[in-house]
Amino acid sequence: MALPEAKQSPTEARLASLSLPTAGCTRDAREAALARVREMGLPGRRDEYWKYTRPDTLIQPEAPKAAVFTADEPLMFDQIDRLKIVFVDGVFSPEASDDLSLEGVQIERLEDICCKDFHWAKELYGVLEARGQNPVPRPLAALNTAFAADGVAIHVTGKPSKPICLIYKHESETSDAILHHVIRVESGAEVTILENGPAASRFNKCMEIDVADGGTLHHVRAQGRDHERRAATHMFTRLGEKSVYKSFTLTVNGVLTRNEQVVELTGDEGVAHVSGACVGDGDFLHDDTVFITHDAVNCESRQVFKKVLRNGATGVFQGKILVKEGAQKTDGYQISQSLLLDDDSQFLAKPELEIYADDVACSHGSTSGAIDETALFYLRSRGVPEKDATNMLTLAFLAEAVDEIEDPALVEDIVARLQGWLARRS
Amino acid sequence: MLEIKNLHVKLEEEDKQILKGVDLTVEAGKVHAIMGPNGSGKSTLSYVLSGRDGYEVTEGSATLDGEDLLELEPEERAALGLFLAFQYPVEIPGVGNMTFLRTAVNAQRKVRGEEELSAADFLKLVRAKAKTLKIDADMLKRPVNVGFSGGEKKRNEILQMAMLEPKMCILDETDSGLDVDAMKLVADGVNALRDEGRGFLVITHYQRLLDHIKPDVVHIMANGRIVKTGGPELALEVEHNGYADILAEVN
Ligand SMILES: Nc1ncnc2c1ncn2[C@@H]1O[C@H](COP(=O)(O)OP(=O)(O)OP(=O)(O)O)[C@@H](O)[C@H]1O
Ligand SMILES: [Mg+2]
């Protein structure tokens, strides 16, 4: 069926600005993805899934300019011993990166997987993304699969001694980066993946994660402080039996962020936790869109999202738990909350449950509110100045999400970043 | 020390007068008690003194050591040495009790130009004071008042008071909800702080607390005014006869 004109021309305009990488074993996957894009069309304002977030600037042919932010503070996770993989405006930088060898894991640049023994990566590339197009289309992810300019394949076969950290530097005001990573965690293996940095003026990132039975993947990311940057990210995760996936995202600033998480629990007793804390001030829209499918028994999923909004900032949450027929004993939890620091800010939430099994426990809740005046007075009556008390209560509000991170060193880093944001506004 | 003159207070949002001319002076080193029927304005008085929003002072004044309290922010009043043990202590999820205490202590020290307490010194101090109030380490780590029993909340108020060492302490029904042993602990906590330089205003419904914390002066508040003032015997009279006689007498 042909796309309506309103979709067709912006889609073709965007496609015209890109070209498929020529060689490589991902060529078939890329062509198939391109066909998906053409079939779905890029997101438009009328799409139900984009009701709260305008996709215009994410799909227009050129990336809108975004000033490069020079940080007055050390890089995120700098205190943590980690293997660094650096991308500058979406291009891998071997000079800035560490040596990629680490026991328990093999890492290859995407363009090199063809000449190496990385069959699993060739077989994974674009596959989870394609699966994730149902029942809701995610055309920006298909666009990513087709045109990704760089990325890494990470094969976790053991328990590497330190986290693998993807660092995304933003140096050009007009950069338009498309990165695609594939990760396979083997049975019984365990890894922590960190990501940080704004990446580019406009960033389209897709990560496909396949966790085999009994594997564990922890993911913590911080999206960078550049005010004008835009990002659309997708994480597609497939979980096997007794596997664990825990992902946390911190977003501080950024004019537009859309983070989609698509998780499929395909083996019994799997665990998936996705969480996020964001703080936005002024021209800021942050959208968490989550889709968790329970397709096995005894699985647990949690979604914990907290947003602090001020000066007209907007927060969006679309979260769904789909429990398929037969996915008995599902334990699903979802909470999305916003703290509005003034009357101009807004939070738009669409929590959804769709359940086809009868023996499940699912709960969801969404709230939006101001600082608790009674608690504020209590703190002030003990001598804590109003600003400090407000900041304490704001951090306390975010704590439920931040507490989803297991590693205390990472928690400390995230909290410090949040404190910095609050302090700059006091 | 604390001087309240002809204090008139109404609700900000409604045309409702709650305090209708309160006169009360608490001298340094003294313990004053306020008793009075429900709804007579005792908590309102304590809130207005500590600076809670929602009330409007229409007449009168309140000073602490000569400083106009009503002009100050709640945190400034606290730094001056005013403390209110809440009738209903507030639960604050996500803020650790210990972090809260330390932030409060150091904020006040900062205002007074004193050096901040180091983490180690603070810990030592808080542990020692918590021990005398039978507050265990676990309670210190938990979020402020969250999941505390009624009595635990009240003991936590006294711990805060002990840590902050205010010069003017207002206790709003700190005895309600306490078992006999806890009441003794709380009273001991208060008595330990009694000294020349410190004043207490103890709001209570029960003579029992006043057996442990011996007041110098007892006031009866009714309908937004102090209607009678006397010695400890006044509390006994209320205990035995209720308020009817006193109210009849003043009307
Ligand atoms: N914010 C408010 N909104 C409406 N009414 C209020 C408010 N604050 C106080 N009042 C009213 O003012 C009166 C005095 O209340 P207050 O809490 O001061 O009484 P109290 O003497 O402390 O009573 P109790 O012994 O029951 O604690 C009551 O009638 C109460 O309902
Ligand atoms: Mg009261």
pLDDT in tens, B156-197: 999 999 999 999 999 999 988 888 888 988 898 899 999 999
Domain extent, residue A318, equals 5-371
Report whether pLDDT(A117) > 90.
no
Mean pLDDT of A41-50: 95
How far away is chain A from the Cα of B75, in angstroms, using its nearest Cα? 4
Closest ligand 1 atom to the C-alpha of B173? Answer: 27
> How much of chain A, in percent, has pLDDT values that exceed 70?
100
Interval between CA B42 and ligand 1 midpoint (Å): 8
Q: How confident is the model at residue A23 (pLDDT cuts 50, 70, 90)?
A: low
Atom 9 (ligand 1): residue with closest C-alpha? B44
> How much of chain B, in percent, has pLDDT values that exceed 70?
100
- Residues with Cβ within 5 Å of ion ligand 2? B 42-43, 87
What is the tens place of the pLDDT at every residue in A282-319? 999 999 999 999 999 999 999 999 999 999 999 999 99
Interval between CA B38 and ligand 1 midpoint (Å): 8
Report whether pLDDT(A22) > 80.
no
Q: Is residue A423 part of a domain?
A: no
Between A225 and A159, residue with greater pLDDT: A159
What domain count does chain A have?
A: 1
Q: Is residue A398 part of a domain?
A: no
Report whether pLDDT(A1) > 70.
no
Question: Residue A341: its pLDDT value, please?
Answer: 94
- The single-letter code of the amino acid at A115 is C
Q: How confident is the model at residue A381 (pLDDT cuts 50, 70, 90)?
A: very high
Residue B215 CA, chain-centre distance (Å), reads 14
User: Does the beta-carbon distance from B92 to A382 stay under 8 Å?
Assistant: no
Q: Is residue A352 part of a domain?
A: yes
Partnered with residue A177 across adjacent β-strands are A203
Residue B216's closest CA among B5, B30, B46, B92? B30
CATH architecture under which domain B2-96+168-249 falls? 3-Layer(aba) Sandwich (3.40)
Average pLDDT, whole number, for chain A? 95
Question: Residue A21: its pLDDT value, please?
Answer: 85
Q: Is residue A376 part of a domain?
A: no
Q: Is residue A412 part of a domain?
A: no
Backbone φ and ψ for B233, nearest 5 degrees, come out as -65, -25
What is the tens place of the pLDDT at every residue in A382-400? 999 999 999 999 999 999 9
Residues A311/A282, Cβ–Cβ less than 8 Å: yes
Residue A378 forms contact with B (CB below 8 Å)? yes
Residue recorded with tokens 């305008």: A54
Mutate to test the pocket of ligand 1, among B15, B24, B38 (most ligand atoms within 8 A of CB): B38
How far away is chain A from the Cα of B143, in angstroms, using its nearest Cα? 9
Mean pLDDT of A182-193: 98
Pairing status of strand B67-68 against strand B55-64: antiparallel
Q: Which of A59-73, A209-223, A330-344 has the lowest mean pLDDT?
A: A59-73
Indicate the helix (H) or strand (E) that contains B58: strand B55-64
ipTM over 0.85: yes
Residue A379 forms contact with B (CB below 8 Å)? yes
Supply the DSSP string of A21-83, one letter for each residue.
Answer: --SSTTHHHHHHHHHHHHHH-S--TT-GGGSSS--HHHHSSSPPP-PPPPPSSPPTTTTS--E
Q: Is the CB of B43 under 6 A from ligand 1?
A: yes
Between A49 and B245, residue with greater pLDDT: A49
Mutate to test the pocket of ligand 1, among B7, B44, B55, B171 (most ligand atoms within 8 A of CB): B44
Q: Is residue A356 part of a domain?
A: yes
Q: Which of A336-340, A350-354, B211-215 has the lowest mean pLDDT?
A: B211-215
Report whether pLDDT(B90) > 70.
yes
